[in-house]
Amino acid sequence: MNIETAKYIDARNHLLESPCVSYWLKKALRALDGRDPVDALKDIEALWHVANNRVSELEPTNADVQAGEARLGA
């Protein structure tokens, strides 16, 4: 086992053993072992972009904040 593999295994096991990690992430971590690492990374990057866009759309813009403050008389 090389140092890079040890880092992966240690990090994976730490996350799988943590009660703070979601069931969804633990399931994804277990599935990761059976995947080609490069393909998995590409999928993870695509998922990150979609999730990031979702969060960006949920975040209020400055105009939204100013309109809310105006309604509250701030």
CA atoms of 50 and 44, how far apart (whole Å) = 10
Say what the pLDDT of residue 55 is. 87
Give tens-digit pLDDT for 7-25. 999 999 999 999 999 999 9
CA atoms of 15 and 61, how far apart (whole Å) = 34
Give tens-digit pLDDT for 28-63. 999 999 999 999 999 999 999 999 998 888 877 666
CA atoms of 74 and 46, how far apart (whole Å) = 40
Reference 47, options 14, 23, 24, 13; nearest CA is 24
